[in-house]
Protein backbone atom coordinates (compact mmCIF):
# COMPACT_ATOMS: atom_id res chain seq x y z
CA UNK A 1 0.00 0.00 0.00
CA UNK A 2 1.27 3.44 -0.88
CA UNK A 3 2.37 5.79 1.85
CA UNK A 4 0.21 8.54 0.34
CA UNK A 5 -3.51 8.24 -0.33
CA UNK A 6 -5.16 11.07 -2.21
CA UNK A 7 -8.80 12.13 -2.39
CA UNK A 8 -9.19 11.30 -6.08
CA UNK A 9 -8.85 7.59 -5.21
CA UNK A 10 -12.16 7.67 -3.31
CA UNK A 11 -15.68 7.62 -4.75
CA UNK A 12 -17.87 8.61 -1.80
CA UNK A 13 -17.30 11.23 0.91
CA UNK A 14 -18.97 11.88 4.23
CA UNK A 15 -18.30 14.93 6.44
CA UNK A 16 -17.13 13.96 9.92
CA UNK A 17 -17.60 16.31 12.84
CA UNK A 18 -14.88 15.84 15.43
CA UNK A 19 -15.84 16.02 19.07
CA UNK A 20 -13.90 17.20 22.11
CA UNK A 21 -13.93 13.63 23.43
CA UNK A 22 -12.15 12.40 20.26
CA UNK A 23 -8.90 13.98 21.51
CA UNK A 24 -6.65 12.07 23.86
CA UNK A 25 -4.28 13.38 26.53
CA UNK A 26 -1.66 14.02 23.84
CA UNK A 27 -3.89 16.59 22.15
CA UNK A 28 -4.78 14.67 19.00
CA UNK A 29 -7.56 12.33 17.91
CA UNK A 30 -7.05 8.97 19.57
CA UNK A 31 -6.18 6.06 17.28
CA UNK A 32 -9.26 4.03 18.20
CA UNK A 33 -11.53 6.88 17.08
CA UNK A 34 -10.41 6.45 13.46
CA UNK A 35 -12.05 3.02 13.43
CA UNK A 36 -15.29 4.68 14.47
CA UNK A 37 -14.93 7.01 11.49
CA UNK A 38 -14.30 3.99 9.22
CA UNK A 39 -17.43 2.27 10.53
CA UNK A 40 -19.46 5.46 10.15
CA UNK A 41 -18.65 6.11 6.49
CA UNK A 42 -19.11 2.45 5.43
CA UNK A 43 -22.46 2.09 7.18
CA UNK A 44 -23.68 5.51 6.06
CA UNK A 45 -23.08 4.44 2.49
CA UNK A 46 -24.81 1.07 2.96
CA UNK A 47 -27.86 2.74 4.51
CA UNK A 48 -28.14 5.81 2.25
CA UNK A 49 -27.00 4.36 -1.08
CA UNK A 50 -27.55 0.63 -0.68
CA UNK A 51 -30.87 0.73 1.15
CA UNK A 52 -29.68 -1.35 4.11
CA UNK A 53 -32.29 -1.45 6.87
CA UNK A 54 -30.11 -1.78 9.96
CA UNK A 55 -33.08 -2.67 12.14
CA UNK A 56 -35.02 -5.04 9.91
CA UNK A 57 -32.88 -6.40 7.08
CA UNK A 58 -32.44 -10.16 7.03
CA UNK A 59 -28.81 -9.62 5.96
CA UNK A 60 -26.26 -7.59 7.94
CA UNK A 61 -22.57 -6.82 7.55
CA UNK A 62 -20.12 -7.87 10.26
CA UNK A 63 -16.61 -6.45 10.47
CA UNK A 64 -13.99 -9.19 10.27
CA UNK A 65 -10.85 -7.13 9.63
CA UNK A 66 -9.62 -3.55 9.76
CA UNK A 67 -6.31 -1.74 9.54
CA UNK A 68 -5.28 1.89 9.71
CA UNK A 69 -2.12 3.76 8.71
CA UNK A 70 -1.68 7.06 10.53
CA UNK A 71 0.12 9.75 8.51
CA UNK A 72 -0.63 13.12 10.15
CA UNK A 73 -2.24 14.18 13.42
CA UNK A 74 -5.77 15.54 13.55
CA UNK A 75 -7.47 17.18 16.53
CA UNK A 76 -10.74 18.67 17.67
CA UNK A 77 -12.15 20.98 16.27
CA UNK A 78 -10.83 19.90 12.84
CA UNK A 79 -13.50 19.41 10.18
CA UNK A 80 -12.91 16.08 8.44
CA UNK A 81 -14.26 14.06 5.57
CA UNK A 82 -14.10 10.31 5.21
CA UNK A 83 -13.51 8.90 1.75
CA UNK A 84 -14.80 5.45 0.76
CA UNK A 85 -14.07 3.12 -2.14
CA UNK A 86 -14.38 -0.62 -2.78
CA UNK A 87 -11.06 -2.41 -3.16
CA UNK A 88 -12.56 -5.90 -3.51
CA UNK A 89 -16.16 -6.98 -4.01
CA UNK A 90 -16.72 -10.68 -3.39
CA UNK A 91 -19.87 -12.76 -3.34
CA UNK A 92 -20.28 -12.54 0.45
CA UNK A 93 -17.81 -9.85 1.49
CA UNK A 94 -16.50 -6.42 0.60
CA UNK A 95 -13.15 -4.79 1.34
CA UNK A 96 -13.37 -1.02 1.58
CA UNK A 97 -10.53 1.42 1.20
CA UNK A 98 -11.07 4.34 3.56
CA UNK A 99 -9.24 7.65 3.91
CA UNK A 100 -9.68 10.32 6.56
CA UNK A 101 -8.97 13.82 5.27
CA UNK A 102 -8.76 17.16 7.00
CA UNK A 103 -11.26 19.42 5.23
CA UNK A 104 -9.56 20.99 2.21
CA UNK A 105 -6.64 18.51 2.17
CA UNK A 106 -6.01 16.24 -0.78
CA UNK A 107 -3.78 13.78 1.11
CA UNK A 108 -5.23 11.48 3.76
CA UNK A 109 -4.15 12.00 7.37
CA UNK A 110 -5.04 8.34 7.91
CA UNK A 111 -6.08 5.53 5.59
CA UNK A 112 -6.72 1.84 5.70
CA UNK A 113 -9.18 -0.90 4.98
CA UNK A 114 -12.27 -2.40 6.51
CA UNK A 115 -13.84 -5.78 5.61
CA UNK A 116 -17.54 -6.60 5.95
CA UNK A 117 -18.81 -10.16 5.62
CA UNK A 118 -22.53 -10.32 5.02
CA UNK A 119 -24.45 -12.78 7.16
CA UNK A 120 -28.00 -13.84 7.89
CA UNK A 121 -29.16 -11.73 10.85
CA UNK A 122 -30.60 -14.73 12.71
CA UNK A 123 -28.14 -17.56 12.00
CA UNK A 124 -24.99 -15.42 11.53
CA UNK A 125 -24.04 -17.69 8.60
CA UNK A 126 -22.44 -15.94 5.64
CA UNK A 127 -24.73 -15.19 2.75
CA UNK A 128 -24.63 -13.49 -0.64
CA UNK A 129 -24.60 -9.70 -0.70
CA UNK A 130 -28.14 -8.57 -1.63
CA UNK A 131 -28.41 -7.28 -5.19
CA UNK A 132 -29.28 -3.67 -4.27
CA UNK A 133 -26.23 -3.47 -1.96
CA UNK A 134 -24.00 -5.14 -4.56
CA UNK A 135 -25.08 -2.64 -7.21
CA UNK A 136 -24.35 0.30 -4.90
CA UNK A 137 -20.98 -1.14 -3.85
CA UNK A 138 -19.97 -1.78 -7.45
CA UNK A 139 -20.20 1.97 -8.11
CA UNK A 140 -17.36 2.50 -5.62
CA UNK A 141 -14.91 0.15 -7.31
CA UNK A 142 -11.84 1.81 -8.79
CA UNK A 143 -11.26 1.21 -12.46
CA UNK A 144 -8.15 -0.89 -13.03
Kindly list the domain boundaries of the chain, sorted by start residue. Answer: 7-138
Task: Name the CA radius of gyration of the chain, rounded.
Answer: 15
Mean per-residue pLDDT pooled into runs of 10, the chain (144 residues): 84 97 95 96 97 95 97 97 98 98 97 97 97 97 75
CATH architecture, domain defined by 7-138: Roll (3.10)
Q: Are 34 and 100 in contact (CB under 8 A)?
A: yes
Query: What pLDDT was estimated at residue 1?
Result: 45
HSE (CB half, 13 Å, CA atoms) of 22?
19
Give the strand order in the sheet containing 79-89.
12-17, 79-89, 93-102, 110-120, 59-70
Query: What pLDDT was estimated at residue 144?
Result: 56
Instruction: Report the C-alpha gap between 143 and 12 in whole angstroms.
Output: 15
Query: What pLDDT was estimated at residue 136?
Result: 98
Amino acid sequence: MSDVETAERYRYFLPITTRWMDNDVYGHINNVTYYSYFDTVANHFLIQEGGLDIHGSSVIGLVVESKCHYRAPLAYPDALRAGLRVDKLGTRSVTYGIGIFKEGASEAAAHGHFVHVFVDRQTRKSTAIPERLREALSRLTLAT
